[in-house]
Chain A
Amino acid sequence: MPVFSNTEQFYRVTKTLFDKIQKENPSAAAELESSKLIIRFNTSDPTAMLVLNGRRHPAEVSYGENRVRPEVDVSMTADTLHKILLGELGLAKALSSKALRVRGPMRKTLKVADLFHQCQEYYSDALREEGIWTG
């Protein structure tokens, strides 16, 4: 059974997560801005789209369909993202098993490694706040 029962729940958790990062560590957004990177996350089960836009000031996260053309396109199931953010599944393993697919210059994603770690740090809190079991 998927972790997220529907798209709205997925957006609620991710929004809580990014709001939390913005509040606790505003420098993470500055890092995204300085990278000038546009990353799109496409998830299935449930189908959702997140766009992190480092070209906006302040950096912007948009939820749902977006016409902005990303530089890096990342596709996976929402459960895979969930496991990665909880640290249960390594990025390298997710890539090698093709659970995570990246389209675009992957080396650019290294610029936002810190933001990724921030997401991992606050993800379980975001799940708790939204009343989803964290394990």
Chain B
Amino acid sequence: MHDTEARIQCVATTKAGTRCKHNAIPGEDYCHIHRPITADRTATGSKRSSVDGESGTKDLTDGELREQLMEELDSLITRVQAISPDYRPSAYASDGTNGSTDEETEGVDPDLQNRILSRLRGSINEDLLDAETWKGLWYMVNYTVEYQSDIFKRRLSGDYDTDEWGLDWEFVEAVRPFLDFLYNVYWRIETTGIEHIPDYDRALLVSNHSGQLPWDGAMIMTAILNEHPAQRLARNLYANWFPTLPFISSALVKMGQALATVENGTRLLNQDELVGVFPEGYKGVGKLYKDRYKLARFGRGGFVKMAINTQAPIIPVSVVGAEETYVTVAKSSILARLTGFPYFPISLRFPWLGLMGAIPLPSKWYIDFGEPIATDSYNSEDTKDLALVSELTDHIRNIIQEMINNRLKIRRSVFR
């Protein structure tokens, strides 16, 4: 009781604006909470006032005040370091980053040092400190959500457009992130010769076929969508077995692909579309691993007739890497008959691992588009000349085989 009476209440004001309820330390005006801060402040204040006294506040510029503040901070840091000599700033703190940057750039030539530092500076985006940026980002997210939900609602109510072939661009855009992932990350595809594909005119892409499932067709389509300046969509013609696979049928149609018939191909070319064909057919996709990159027979030359009839240039395409996505060691004709498949592959993983065996291996792919082969020197009558059709078919086949061989020669390995 006596003690209580003897002590004085702390004179400091709290953050809430009320008087501090603690007792002051004996002999002082402040409690143990407010004393150090206030003491420092008083010290700073007195220092500043002494400066003020010498030269006057008006004479102190912002720069000088900043210097004073920095000096005070330095002295504080020195004091803290004296108390805890083992303390080192974290590598993620600004001091730590500066220190490690200095160390790392010491042995580098000045030009490179400048580039590293300017790059580091560029990573600190001042826009991030601006409230408008965050507001804009919020609007952008909000807008994207609205846009996506609008698409979702329209699709539920059937309010979306398709072309006469069933191509649904919204569907293509929806599956594109998955295709992009396969293209950029999973198979790390490198594409060359994209400039051989016309911007608007018709053309017939003729490619080798491999890999048990038609991933090569999907990747050729993605390559053109991603790399071509006019972002064209290749309309691949697929064999009539693929739509019997679950979920594949409607997906193929929505992605603008069409059943492989001469009529469909001709009609698409007459509409100035870019049409993709795989003349090897089932013989190509059902190839054994030991026969990889040896082109099978190119059918009866239906694609040549299609190109001549529509005067569309033929663009040879080679896909390297797809052969290694499934390592097929044998084929079972009995299982093929029982399941209704055109071929039943037995690979190192299928059917032993069930559907897991259908997951392709992440081999490294190359897609090369060759120079267009003009067909405008022929006319429809020439398609009746079977010798000519056969000769042209073999010519295209040889070109593609050569493109594959050239690529295989420079390929480093299956996965790199």
Contacts and interface: CB of A to CB of B under 8 A. Distances in A.
Interface of A: 36, 38, 53, 55-56, 60, 67-71, 90-92, 95-96, 102-107
B178 interface: no
Contacts of A96: 139, 142
A59 to B, nearest CB: 10
A111 B233 CA distance: 24
Contacts of A38: 229, 231
Contacts of B231: 38, 55, 68-71
B107 interface: no
Given A91-B136, A95-B140, A96-B139, A103 B147 contact: yes
Contacts, number: 52
Nearest to B135: A92
B291 interface: no
Contacts of B227: 36, 55
Interface size class of chain B, counting residues whose CB lies under 8 Å from the partner chain: 20 to 34
Interface of B: 132, 135-136, 138-140, 142-144, 147, 173, 199-200, 226-233
A71 to B, nearest CB: 7
Given A67-B200, A90-B132, A90-B136, A95 B143 contact: yes
A92 B132 contact: yes
A68 B229 contact: yes
A36 B226 contact: yes
Contacts of B147: 102-103, 106
Interface of B, secondary structure class, is helix
B70 to A, nearest CB: 33
Contacts of B199: 67-68
Q: Which of B132, B138, B143, B227 has the most CB of A within 10 A?
A: B143
6 contacts: A68-B229, A69-B230, A69-B231, A69-B232, A92-B135, A95-B139
User: Which of A38, A53, A56, A106 neighbours the largest number of chain B CB atoms within 10 Å of its CB?
Assistant: A106
A53 B200 CA distance: 15
B132 A106 contact: no
B298 to A, nearest CB: 32
B93 to A, nearest CB: 29
Nearest to A55: B229
B129 to A, nearest CB: 16
Contacts of A107: 140, 144
Given A92-B132, A103-B147, A68 B140 contact: no
Contact of B229 (A53, A71, A102): A53
Identify the 7 closest CB pairs spanning chains A and B, nearest first: A55-B229, A92-B136, A92-B139, A56-B229, A68-B230, A95-B139, A69-B231
Contacts of B138: 92
A104 B170 CA distance: 10
Contacts of A55: 227-231
Nearest to B137: A92
A110 to B, nearest CB: 8
Nearest to A91: B136
Nearest to A113: B127
